[in-house]
Amino acid sequence: MAGLYIHVPFCKQKCTYCDFASFPKEIGKVESYFACLYREIEGRSKQYKDTVIDTVYIGGGTPSVVESKFIMGALRQVRKCFKVKDDAEITIELNPGTVDEGKIKDYKSVGINRFSIGLQTGFDDQLKRLNRIHTAKDFLLCTNLLKGENISADILIGLHDQTAAQVEKTIDLAIAGGVSHLSVYALTPEVGTPIYTDYLNGELLSEDETADIYEHVVKYLKGKGFNRYEVSNFALDGAYSRHNMNYWKRGEYIGVGVSASSFMENRRFTNTFKIDEYINAVIYNKSPEISSDMIEGDDAKFEFIMLALRTADGLDTAEYNKIFNEDFDNEYSESLRKKAQFLERNGDKIKIKDQYLYVQNDIILEFMK
């Protein structure tokens, strides 16, 4: 069983914080890109025969910016090439400024059953400053079209002069829109993005201020019935993202399209970040991969620990012992002792105490050999 990620590298315009593979000026290449994407899906299905797909995630960029026929085509191709489970979770990312009734209908017609909306903030001035193409009202128009569906929204914290009260209002807006899942990300200024300049000039919130907001968010959402199940992810009971949980359990997944990463048969590999390079590779039956690493031994173990400890559930030592044929408690007795005050034990499970989930790097490092 594996997850499948489909990357759509197009959008209307770049947000100031975006460093993803997304190219507003390349929108003319949509047809050829999707033609290649279908071909890669077929190729990967032959490479990893008999793989059963449990979750599909269509991300970007802005997948909703392209005509829905491409998305439908991609999903038809997936079903044609792979066995997709009947109850598969199939998510698409939406930008509120790019959807209409027709698109939603089309998405649903091919089995898409989860919608992840990029809201970021409920304040139009902030949206504008981030170079987002939509308003807060657009978000509600979008959720209106999705009544009764499984909806998630992305929210950013750490923005210019942002207050906890503003984030609260943003959350209220999302909940009013009927979301059952929220991702709350601390803004990470990446080198080369326009917002990095703001960061250098001290215009964004400090890490401490962001942490204050984060802690506030955790409490506020708990009051609304949303539990944190991973560092940045909150959900009503049962509404967690299966696709993402698979990453943190170190399950297998295939990524197709520009910049997509895969983890199959202990190998991590990533496709090129350039559209032209991708198209050329696929047309000439060459591999679009630009990196490939076998992950074995201590490296694999550390990945397992690092990913598992991101979740509120934590790490299942019994599972670890089974996978790696080891005794976790014995193998990491020293690390466990050193970091005991930050960890919580419950039967076979070890988790980072709630209050330390946001400062976990230092804890995880202790488990790196």
Partner 1 sequence: MSINKQNVRNFCIVAHIDHGKSTLADRLMEKTGQVSERDMEEQLLDSMDLEKERGITIKLTPVRMFYKAKNGEEYIFNLIDTPGHVDFTYEVSRSLKACEGAILIVDATQGVQAQTLANAYLAIDNDLEIMPVINKMDLASARPDEVAEEVEEILGVEAKTAPRISAKTGLNVEDVLEQIIEKIPAPKGDEKAPLKALIFDSYYDNFKGVICFVRIMDGEVKIGTRIKTFMSDKQFDVTEVGVFSPKMQPKDSLVAGEVGYIAASIKSIEDTAVGDTITDALNPAKEALPGYKKALPMVFSGVFPLDGSKYNDLKDALLKLKLNDAALSIEPDNSAALGFGFRCGFLGLLHMDVIQERIEREFDLEIITTAPSVSYKVYKTDGTELVIENPTHLPPVTEIDYMEEPIIKASILTPPEFVGPIMELCQYKRGIYKDLVYLDKSRVELKYILPLNEIIYDFFDSLKSRTKGYASFDYEVTGYQRSDLVKMDMLLNGDICDALSIIVHKDKAYERGRQIAEKLKEVIPRQMFEIPIQAAVGGKIIARETVKAFRKDVLAKCYGGDVTRKKKLLEKQKEGKKKMRSIGTVEIPSEAFISILKTDNDR
Pick from 90, 79, 93, 7: which is nearest to 55 by CA? 90
State which of residues 10, 107, 253, 332 lies at the interface with partner 1 (CB under 8 A). 253
State which of residues 171, 258, 306, 308 lies at the interface with partner 1 (CB under 8 A). 306
Q: Which is nearer to partner 1, 302 or 324 (CB)?
A: 302
The angle at the Cα of 204, spanning 200 to 210, to the nearest 5 degrees, equals 125
Binding to partner 1 in span 34-53, by CB under 8 A: none
Secondary structure (DSSP) of 246-274: HHHTT-EEEEESTT-EEEETTEEEEE-S-
Going by C-beta distance under 8 Å and a sequence separation of 6 or more, which residues neighbour residue 264?
A: 2, 48, 252, 253, 254
Residues comprising the chain, all counted: 369
Pick from 199, 119, 102, 132: which is nearest to 159 by CA? 199
State which of residues 201, 285, 325, 361 lies at the interface with partner 1 (CB under 8 A). 361
State which of residues 140, 145, 211, 312 lies at the interface with partner 1 (CB under 8 A). 211
Q: Should residue 362 be labelled a site residue for partner 1 when binding is judged by CB under 8 A?
A: yes
d(CA 66, CA 24): 11
Query: Is residue 187 a contact partner of residue 204, using CB atoms and an 8 Å limit?
Result: yes
- Residue 60, number of CB atoms within 10 A of its CB: 26
Q: Which is nearer to partner 1, 109 or 291 (CB)?
A: 291
Min separation Cβ 187 and partner 1, Å: 8
Binding to partner 1 in span 158-187, by CB under 8 A: 185-187
Give the contact letters, 5-34, x = binds to partner 1 (CB under 8 A), - = no.
x-----------------------------
Q: Which is nearer to partner 1, 106 or 154 (CB)?
A: 154
Q: Which is nearer to partner 1, 188 or 197 (CB)?
A: 188
Whole-number Cα distances in Å, 97 to 81, 203, 219:
32, 27, 30
Counting residues that bind partner 1 (by CB under 8 A) gives: 46
Which spans of this chain sit near partner 1 (rule: CB under 8 A)? 3, 5, 185-188, 207-208, 210-212, 214, 231-232, 244, 247-248, 253, 255, 259-263, 268, 270, 291, 293, 299, 302-303, 306-307, 310, 342, 356-365, 368
